[in-house]
Structure 1
Amino acid sequence: MIAERPSAVTAAQPTVRRLIVYTILFALVMIAAIGLSGLVGRLLDTGVVLVEGDVAGLAQSLAFTLIAGPLAAVLWWFVWRRLSGGADRSSVLWGVYITAVYTVSLITFTQALLGAVTASIGGDAAPRDVGTGLVWWGVWIWHRWMLLHPVKGPRQLRHAPGVVGFVWGLAIGVAGSITGLGLVFREAIDTVAGSAGSVVAVGNPWWEAVLQSLVWAVGGWVVWWWHWNHDRARALGSDFATVAVIAAGIAGGSILTLGGLGVSLFVVLRLTFDRSDPLREILDPLSSALATATVGAVVWAYHRTVVDSLAATPRLAASLVTSGVGLVATASGVGVIVNALLAALTPALVGADARTLLLAGISSAVVGGPLWWIVWKPASIAGPAEAASPARRVYLIAVFGLSAVVAVVTLLVVGYRVFEFALDGALAASLLDRVRAPLGLLFATVLVAAYHFVVWRRELVAVTTAGLVQARRIGRIILVSGANAAAEAQILHAISGAPVTIWSRASDDEQPSPDAAHLADALGLLAGKRVLVVVGPGSRVEAIGLAD
């Protein structure tokens, strides 16, 4: 008897079923939680009669709770029963559902509860926020229990909620810290400048706003610590976690630091060379800038130490991201400087305004230039091995391409302004005044695009001459492994340069992951379009070349 191979349509049916079921379950959980939040908020609000005043709102809360709630419970029960088998638990859609609800509930309950605490500091009760926070906290606990369930927890994306959680906590903690520290700096600056008491509205002590910001900062850092240390998000080693660390910690921290330092330097230069505005107006952005630079530097430095403990590829990616941030700041400053120099030639603009614009450009260039120079090292030529790095080559192409696109768009804007001026003689502004801003941007982007194109061509020639550009021996690796598949895929990609597709085992019990030497020995001299690598059980590693 010959068994027929299931068709593609038949094989896709379980995936379609899971997509529909999990989407409906997500919607029902969201609706039921919204309704229950409204009811709990009304119960806690002792100053409001439940029925009078907002009949429509109460009816909506009752409908959401009493209809969507039981439906969600019944559907969840059927879903939970099916998770005993391996197929549904191994589906990526189960992991997507858990991650989505976990993220929404975490964001909602933290915002609501922290908002209620800050409102109480100001003397205002927020029972609706308390009700919302309690309900969504319960939803979060429920889905966290499912996430960590040893038998029915998701096998795919099971670490994604932890990564999302530490990024969200980092964002709240940084925002609260900057706000609170900025208020302290402003009070100090206003005291020194002889205008104390101008931080908040009349009647509110300045420390009240600081205390409210402190609540957000502490709440955010607690959420960050819980996911980063308690849930060990820092030790995951997955690509998603690495990208989150580089994007939030390195890129975000460096942007905050450079932005704060640039504005601070701008204020200092204005105090020295441009007193055209009142003193308070000049000093106004200094407090927030100092706070932003301080908090950003701490975040940047900490995540720099985290990245230094990772493999070579994430370290290179972090350096390239830092170089890109410095490059953007430098190019922006150069463009503004050109704009200011052209503004000085325009009779319609007074010299003071042009001087202020010039100081802004100098501040940006002075802050970003040294960072780009130190990280990118333009004075030294990269060796063939470094130049052959895919990350470096992608960076060069991306910077050149984006700069070229911006330059083309800016050139079109310049052309539009020129033709508009030529066709409409009634325009009061001079031609130079109308094109000076896009001309400054055009000059900076052309400079950036030209430099990176030259570097890319030079390194391409060096790599080709050294014989480092070779076709890969392996076209693609198919990795069959368990819980450590992501880390093993990174090692295999670093060894072979080939993309890796992960196939998870039905049983993904925690096992010691083989080191790079064992994986390299298993690959040996295998060559072909596809190679199957099977890791486990135990320390067993086997590589099999597949037929084309």
Structure 2
Amino acid sequence: MRRIIVFTLLFALVVITAIGLSGLLGRLLDAGNALASSDITGLARSLAFTLIAGPFAAVLWWLLWRRMGQDERSSLAWGLYLAGMSTVALVSASATLLTCAAALVRTDWQPRNLATGVVWAGVWVWHRWMSRHDQKSPSRLVTVAPVLGSVFGLVVGVGGLVTAIGSLADTAIDGFAPSVVVGEPWWRFTLQAIVWCVGGSAIWWWHWFAGRARTLRGGLSDVALVVVGVAGASVLTLGGAGTALFTMLKLALDRTSPVAQILDPLGTALAAAAVGALVWRYHRGLAVARSDQTRPAAGLVTSGVGLVAAASGLGVVVNSILAATTGTLAGSDTRALLVAGISALVVGGPVWWVAWKPAGPVDPAQVGTPGRRIYLVLIFGLSAVVAIVTLLVIGYRIFEFALGDVTGQGLLDRVRAPLGLLAATGLAAGYHFAVWRRDRSVLTAAPGREHTIGRVILVTGADPEPLTRAVDDATGAAVTVWLSAATEPAGTAAGPTAQQLVDALRGVTGKRVLVVAGPGSRIDVIALRD
């Protein structure tokens, strides 16, 4: 509790001091205005933040830094403080400095943003120095800041690149479908986007390569790789491709709107699809080369993104078909709705099919894995919940119509949107529930798989992957790995084999079992009390 309180207090004091210094430095750099001018309140706040919170932050940091021993270094609060403050400082400094640099493209000098960026950059350098100190750097959560920094840089760089390419594409498209443009020249907006792209790419490169975030394995690094590099990039790619396909189909089938208006989102959509595909391919290659848990996780999130797109498209198609049978929404609106549904279905369906492989045989090694079970239960559960809510909406609309509502809408017009959603979610829930039942029957019928252990806590100094797979295949128990700091004596084996571990667990029962593997081929199995 002492560490939590003091490091939380230090975090707040550093943030307050940085805000105060930013305000004072911004006023000094803003030579066009008087130091106080009419903003007496802002100057007073900056002076109070700097002159009161600053000394308190300095004294508290000095006391903590002086007594920073091995116990403090290994505390979770110290590592969490450095990771959190480094990330906050990086985001604040880079956002304000890039905003200032982008504003210079249009000759807009912003001294306040420059001051804020300089102050927060100093805070980031200070905390980076502490995190790399030989004797006082934290021993826990040391990989959080590089991973979060690389994710932030990737998001900023990709956003800037998509905007820049989209602006160039829009300019080229305007040459074929000219429109009246009022405002700044096109190159200025493109150059501003390039500034953000270069800045974000530099941040990403610094953390990914120089900070060695690329070499990290397990935990947060794998989660960030799958969630941002694979899932996020796939969403960007499919969203851009679907929008581009929708624009082209609407141009071919529905010319009721001006051509320039129809083509307006095409440039950004093409840029998003191209950039997202590159980022997706790069991170998917990294995921394939990682652990046995990361590879299927990348495939599952890709399948989930494709499923959401395809199911959304199917629901919209059903909605548009029902709308075409009514007289209130005939014409271009119905065609636009149908084109949108077809676009989502065409883009998401193949991705789901390739990632999930519903027609092919299921890999026996993947049946029953935690990732696949979580995926099936999550998709089934969410689809069932949405379907139930949709049924309630349909019932409400039916009763509303039967009780004589005077809005003038027909019954089919009222329920066509929830009926489309119900068709999509019902199919998704039914299919994934059937797959889950099939996997469960396969696991139950699998020979040699004894469900007598709930969880295995494995302590080993060797590579845990073969042992983890062996325990899962033999018992189906969840495995928690604790890496031992002890080294193997000279002349001993690297550790017990997977078969030796399986033999040692045979006949053991319990909700939690502790297994100590090593030194050599020694295995200690201890059933823990509940």
Q: Which amino acid aligns with 2:80?
A: V
Asked whether the equivalents of residues 253 and 300 of structure 1 are also in contact (C-alpha less than 8 Å), the reply is yes
Cα deviation for residue 455 of structure 1 reads 1.3
Counterpart check, 1:32 vs 2:22? no
Give the structure 2 partner of residue 102 of structure 1: 86
- Cα 1:349–1:361 change in 2 (3 A) is same
Counterpart check, 1:258 vs 2:238? yes
Alignment of 1:468-479 (within 5 A): 469-471=449-451, 475-477=455-457, 479=459
Give the structure 1 partner of residue 374 of structure 2: 394
SS of aligned partner of 1:471: coil
Counterpart check, 1:71 vs 2:51? no
Give the structure 2 partner of residue 13 of structure 1: none
- Cα 1:522–1:249 change in 2 (3 A) is same
Give distance in 2, aligned partners of 1:468 and 1:460.
15
Give the structure 2 partner of residue 191 of structure 1: 175
Counterpart check, 1:58 vs 2:33? no
Cα deviation for residue 287 of structure 1 reads 0.9
Q: Which amino acid aligns with 2:513?
A: R
Give the structure 2 partner of residue 379 of structure 1: 359
Decide which of 293, 299, 310 is 2:290's aligned counterpart: 310
Asked whether the equivalents of residues 27 and 35 of structure 2 are also in contact (C-alpha less than 8 Å), the reply is yes
Give distance in 2, aligned partners of 1:380 and 1:442.
27
CA RMSD in angstroms comes to: 2.5
Q: Which amino acid aligns with 1:177?
A: L
Cα deviation for residue 395 of structure 1 reads 1.1
Q: TM-score, normalised by structure 1?
A: 0.89
Decide which of 189, 208, 211 is 2:188's aligned counterpart: 208
Q: Which amino acid aligns with 1:531?
A: L
Cα deviation for residue 425 of structure 1 reads 2.9
SS of aligned partner of 1:475: strand
Deviations 1:20-70 (A, max 9, x none): 111111111111111111111111111111122211101101111111111
Give the structure 2 partner of residue 531 of structure 1: 514
- My pick for the range that moved more, 424-433 or 360-369, is 424-433
Give distance in 1, aligned partners of 2:17 and 2:460.
40
Asked whether the equivalents of residues 28 and 71 of structure 1 are also in contact (C-alpha less than 8 Å), the reply is yes
SS of aligned partner of 1:31: helix
SS of aligned partner of 1:384: coil
Give distance in 2, aligned partners of 1:491 and 1:78.
47
- Cα 1:21–1:476 change in 2 (3 A) is farther
Counterpart check, 1:288 vs 2:288? no
Counterpart check, 1:167 vs 2:148? no
- Cα 1:351–1:414 change in 2 (3 A) is same
Give the structure 2 partner of residue 235 of structure 1: 215
Asked whether the equivalents of residues 474 and 526 of structure 1 are also in contact (C-alpha less than 8 Å), the reply is no
- Cα 1:433–1:98 change in 2 (3 A) is same
Cα deviation for residue 488 of structure 1 reads 5.5
Asked whether the equivalents of residues 384 and 463 of structure 1 are also in contact (C-alpha less than 8 Å), the reply is no
Cα deviation for residue 386 of structure 1 reads 2.5
Give distance in 2, aligned partners of 1:25 and 1:230.
28
Deviations 1:227-258 (A, max 9, x none): 11111101110221001011001001111111
Give distance in 1, aligned partners of 2:245 and 2:86.
42
Cα deviation for residue 276 of structure 1 reads 1.7
Give distance in 2, aligned partners of 1:50 and 1:540.
72
Give the structure 2 partner of residue 132 of structure 1: 116
Cα deviation for residue 518 of structure 1 reads 5.6
Decide which of 100, 110, 127 is 1:143's aligned counterpart: 127
- Cα 1:474–1:348 change in 2 (3 A) is closer
Give the structure 1 partner of residue 2 of structure 2: 17
Asked whether the equivalents of residues 495 and 521 of structure 2 are also in contact (C-alpha less than 8 Å), the reply is no
Give distance in 2, aligned partners of 1:344 and 1:284.
27
SS of aligned partner of 1:545: strand
- Cα 1:177–1:57 change in 2 (3 A) is same
Give distance in 2, aligned partners of 1:468 and 1:212.
63
SS of aligned partner of 1:530: strand
Decide which of 173, 180, 198 is 1:218's aligned counterpart: 198
Asked whether the equivalents of residues 384 and 466 of structure 1 are also in contact (C-alpha less than 8 Å), the reply is no
Cα deviation for residue 351 of structure 1 reads 2.1
Deviations 1:267-315 (A, max 9, x none): 1111111112111111111111111101101110110111121122211
SS of aligned partner of 2:455: strand
Cα deviation for residue 155 of structure 1 reads 1.2
Q: TM-score, normalised by structure 2?
A: 0.92
Identity %: 50
Unaligned stretches of 5+ in structure 1? 1-15, 482-486
Asked whether the equivalents of residues 494 and 520 of structure 2 are also in contact (C-alpha less than 8 Å), the reply is no
- Cα 1:469–1:277 change in 2 (3 A) is farther
Give distance in 2, aligned partners of 1:519 and 1:225.
40
Give distance in 2, aligned partners of 1:394 and 1:162.
28
Unaligned stretches of 5+ in structure 2? 473-477
Give distance in 1, aligned partners of 2:323 and 2:501.
63
- My pick for the range that moved more, 422-431 or 40-49, is 422-431
Give the structure 2 partner of residue 349 of structure 1: 329
- Cα 1:234–1:354 change in 2 (3 A) is same
Asked whether the equivalents of residues 533 and 541 of structure 1 are also in contact (C-alpha less than 8 Å), the reply is no
Cα deviation for residue 440 of structure 1 reads 0.4
Give distance in 2, aligned partners of 1:255 and 1:161.
25
Give the structure 1 partner of residue 475 of structure 2: none
- Cα 1:140–1:189 change in 2 (3 A) is same
- Cα 1:441–1:215 change in 2 (3 A) is same
Cα deviation for residue 92 of structure 1 reads 1.2
- Cα 1:47–1:426 change in 2 (3 A) is same
- Cα 1:318–1:190 change in 2 (3 A) is same
Q: Which amino acid aligns with 2:337?
A: L
